[in-house]
Structure 1
Amino acid sequence: MGIPRNPLLFGLMHRMNLVEKVGSGLLRIRQMSEAYPCPPPRIEADADWYRIIFLRPETESQPESGPESGLESGPESGPESGPESGLESETAKSVIKALTGHPLQRAEIAKALGHDQVSGAVNRAVKELLKKQLIEYTLPDKPNSRLQQYRLTKNGRKLVAGMKRND
C-alpha cells in the first residue's frame, strides 16, 4: 500500500470517486498489460517524479524476399524505384503530391486529400514520410505545435520529379 504524496488532493479525489485506494494503480496496470500482446510497461522513478512508458506491440515484420519465400526482390522498372520511392500507401503518395506546391498543416493535407478531418491513414502516411525523410517539419523544435506544417525535403522533391516522369 502506498502513501499519497498530497493527502489533501488524494482526499478530494477519493471523495469524488476518482481513485479507489492508494497504491493499487501500478499493480493493476501490470496485471492488465499481461492480457495484451505488448511488452510490459517500463516504470522509471526518482525522488520527485515517476514515468510509465507503454511500449507498442511489435508489428509483424515485412516478409523476406528471396527464392525461398517466393517473392522476387529488386526494383520495379522505371524511375518509380528512385530515392526511397517504395511508398507503402496511396495516401502517402497523395500527401507527397499535396505538399508539392507549399507547406501544409495536417488538417490542410487531409482536406487536399478529400477528407473532412485528419484520419488515421493521413497520420500514418505523414509518420511514414517523416521517417523516410521525404517530408520535414517547418518547426523542427516544436513537432506538436498547432502552427506546425510539413514540407518536402530534397529527397521528397526528387521523388515528385520521378513521379511526374512516370505520369
Structure 2
Amino acid sequence: MRKMMRYGKKYGGADPQLIEGDVFRMIISVPEFSTKQEETVDPTQIRVHDGVHDTRLSETMKKILVLLIEPKSTPQLLSELGYPRRTRNYEAAIKNLLDFELIEMTLPDTPRSKNQRYRQTEKGKSLISGIL
C-alpha cells in the first residue's frame, strides 16, 4: 500500500484516490503519453556509431577514454578508476572501446603481455575533445 502511494505521487503527480465501498478502489492518475515521444538530447550522453549500432558510452568507458590521454597499462587504469581488480564492467568497457576503435593496444600481436598498454586512437581523440 505504501509503495502504491509513493508510485501514485511520483508518476501521477498527486496522491492516489482511495475509495471505500463494497469494493476498495485506488485510482492513480498517470500522465498522458503522446504517440510522438520527443527525444531530448543530453550533451553528457556521448554516442558512438559503428556503422550498424548507435551506442551510448557508459560512464566507465568515458573515464577510461579520458584516462588514456597517455598510454596506460591495465593495473594503472584499474588503480586510477578505483577498482581493486578487474571487473566485468571494466572488461566490457575495454572490449567496447577496442571494438569501436576508440582505443588500441600498443602490442596488438601479444594482447596478454604484461607490457600491454592501451592508448587512444585518432577517432578516440576526436571524440574526447567533445567531452573535455
Deviation (angstroms), 1:115:
1.1
Instruction: Identify which of 118, 127, 132 aligns with 1:159.
Output: 127
Q: Tell me by how many angstroms 1:105 deviates.
A: 1.0
SS of 2:113 mapped into structure 1: coil
Assess, with a 3 A threshold, how the Cα gap between structure 1 residues 99 and 88 changes in structure 2: closer, same or farther.
same
TM-score (norm 2): 0.60
- 2:41 aligned residue: 76
- Tell me by how many angstroms 1:87 deviates: 3.6
Q: Say whether residues 1:127 and 2:92 are aligned partners.
A: no
Residue identity opposite 1:159 in structure 2: L
Whether the 8 Å contact between 1:95 and 1:109 is mirrored in structure 2 is yes
The normalised TM-score by structure 1 is 0.48
| SS of aligned partner of 2:119 | strand
Give the % identical residues: 31
- 1:22-33 residue pairs with structure 2 within 5 A? none
For 1:131 and 1:123, the matched residues in 2 are separated by 12
Once the two structures are superposed, the pairs formed by residues 36-47 of structure 1 within 5 Å of their partners are none
Q: Which runs of 4+ in 1 moved over 2 A?
A: 70-73, 75-88
Residue 92 of structure 1 corresponds to: 61
The amino acid of 2:78's aligned partner reads: A
Name the residue aligned to 1:143: 111
Measure, in 2, the Cα distance between the counterparts of 1:81 and 1:117.
26
Matched letter for residue 127 of structure 1 = K
Look up the match of 2:83: 115
Distance 1:81 1:107, change over 3 A: closer
5+ residue gaps, structure 2, are: 1-34
Match of 1:104 in 2: 72
**Cα drift, residue 159 of structure 1:** 1.0
In structure 2, relative to structure 1, the CA distance for the partners of 1:146 and 1:78 (3 Å cut) is: same
Q: Is the alpha carbon distance of 1:78 and 1:103 closer, same or farther for their aligned partners in structure 2, counting shifts above 3 Å?
A: same
CA distance in 2, matches of 1:118, 1:162: 28
CA deviation after TM superposition for structure 1 residue 146, in Å: 1.4
Provide structure 1 residue ranges, at least 5 long, that are not aligned to the other structure: 1-67
Q: Residues 78 and 115 from structure 1, CA distance in 2 versus in 1: closer, same or farther, beyond 3 angstroms? A: closer
How large is the Cα RMSD of the aligned pairs? 2.8
The answer to which structure has the higher strand fraction is: 2
8 Å CA contact retained: 2:78, 2:85: yes
